[in-house]
Amino acid sequence: LRIVDNDGVDALTMRRLAGELGVNPMSIYHHLPGKAAVLSGLVEVVFSKIPAPAATAAPWQQQIKRAARVIRTGLVAHRNLAPLVVTDPGVVADAQITVAEPIYAALETVGVSPRSAVDAVNALVDFVRGSLIAEVAVPPEGFDVGPSLRERLRTLPPGTAPALARVLDALGADGMAYDFDAGFDACLDLLIAGIEAGLRSPAPSEERNRS
Amino acid sequence: LRIVDNDGVDALTMRRLAGELGVNPMSIYHHLPGKAAVLSGLVEVVFSKIPAPAATAAPWQQQIKRAARVIRTGLVAHRNLAPLVVTDPGVVADAQITVAEPIYAALETVGVSPRSAVDAVNALVDFVRGSLIAEVAVPPEGFDVGPSLRERLRTLPPGTAPALARVLDALGADGMAYDFDAGFDACLDLLIAGIEAGLRSPAPSEERNRS
DNA sequence: ACCTGAACACCGTTCAAGT
DNA sequence: ACCTGAACACCGTTCAAGT
């Protein structure tokens, strides 16, 4: 995991790993079936290190935000592995249970219908997944970050994205750096507002299958 | 692209590609700098094939849904490449402009504040990203799909996910298969409801930086 | 039961040599 | 300018042989 954190997933080589462990490269095969097992082991370690948020008496909105933030911080801590974690079929399946449970519990306290709860959890979990990918896709520290959104937009033929251009203009010069934490929170608030709206006007019950 | 679609990303090898093209493996290096260029080229092809939804007079909610669905169907068409597309730094950056523009345009027509528009677009795009990853992570056709959520839950020590268990119970036996299309749409509705809620009660203006 | 070294079958890529 | 073949430096993994 240290190798991956420092030098990326590609740097994790059976020979390198063995060297770092001070053993013969082939010895690893007596404990694990292959490299895939090494990687999925790392993925599972990182995923399972995500702590379950302590149950509190806080309002359900805060419980949900807390659960989402815990996932996010747990995975950005190993940003080189994050794409694998978030993509791993086993993790995707387990996420429906482990990380979703606190959210289900919070929604239950306000009487969200089962179907709506599933939708809300999926929306939340998928958003967290997607925002994580976006976050780890940009080079480490805003440092050496490619041309900013504003500059890239300027190089395109004018009129390509007029609405975006107007938004950037309106935001003014203070909108130079993106704060992932604040953006993440704002999106969470939006999702939660959507759930609240569903509470006030119960969902139209269409025919749908779920598992 | 055909190789990747049929046999996965790992099957795309310089030698294989050259063979399929009927040329010498090394000839490729006279047209492209290396394998990374081949892959990012494919990623860019798939991404740029996403059509811009035609501007209509439909209500903004429908315009947003249409934009999101177009992205999704464009990427599930090449599910083997989807994780790379959605992870590619260049695509992540371009997505803020290309695929976001129709959404900005739709939000503009109802006077969403610039800051809220950025948040809404991020929430939408990140959700689409995340749901795509979740969808392509499960084996192809619900066929040979691992143990269902219900069965996996049963193998865990009881009491692990009580709230989820109650939700599944309430959904009953009809909830055996998950319909990605319907789930996607339901989540979109939730996000849009969140945006609508923001329209009714304008966002608290905190201090934040954006780009 | 665990470890080892050598070898195999691949891979991306370099490079000198061809036309 | 474009292509070629051979070679290099890696990789994951197999396997017979050691203890």
pLDDT at A2: 94
Nearest residue of A to residue B176 by CA position? A211
Question: Would you say how long chain A is, in residues?
Answer: 211
CA of B48 to C1' of D7 (A): 39
Q: Which amino acid is at A109?
A: T
**pLDDT at residue B156, rounded to an integer:** 87
pLDDT digits (tens, 9 = 90+) for A132-141: 999 999 876 5
Whether residue B195 contacts residue A203, with contact meaning beta carbons closer than 8 Å, is answered with no
Question: Average pLDDT, whole number, for chain A?
Answer: 89
Residue A175 has pLDDT above 60, yes or no: no
If pLDDT is split at 50, 70 and 90, which confidence band does A203 have?
low
Q: What is the pLDDT of residue A145?
A: 46
Whole-angstrom distance, CA of residue A172 vs CA of residue B114: 10
Quick check: B4 CB within 7 A of strand C? Answer: no
Residue B72, both tokens:
């999704």
Query: Of A44-48, A66-70, B43-47, B166-170, which range is least confident?
Result: B166-170
Identify which of B61, B59, B73, B46 has the alpha carbon closest to the alpha carbon of residue B181: B73
Distance from CA of B30 to the nearest CA of A (A): 26
Amino acid residing at A85 = V
More confident residue, B204 or A199: A199
CB contact under 8 A, A92 and B134: yes
pLDDT at position A205 is 52
Statement: residue A143 has pLDDT above 50 = no
d(CA A142, CA B74): 30
Cβ–Cβ gap A127/B125 under 8 Å: no
Q: What global pTM score does this model have?
A: 0.92
Digit-coded pLDDT (tens) for B119-138:
999 999 999 999 999 999 98
For chain B, residues with pLDDT lower than 70 are: 140-147, 173-177, 202-211
Q: Which of A101, A138, A191 sits opposite B191 (nearest CB)?
A: A191
Give B125 CA → C11 C1' in Å.
36
Higher-confidence residue of A11 and A146: namely A11
Output the 3-class SS for A139-206. Answer: CCCCCCCCCCHHHHHHHCCCCCCHHHHHHHHHHCCCCCCCCHHHHHHHHHHHHHHHHHHHHHCCCCCC
Res A38 pLDDT > 50: yes
Residue A31 — very low, low, confident or very high, per pLDDT cuts 50/70/90? Answer: very high
Does residue B23 lie within 7 Å of nucleic acid chain D, judged by its CB? yes
What percent of chain A stands above pLDDT 70? 89
Question: How many CB atoms neighbour CB A9 within 10 A?
Answer: 13
Q: Which residues in chain A are contacts of B40 at CB distance < 8 A?
A: none
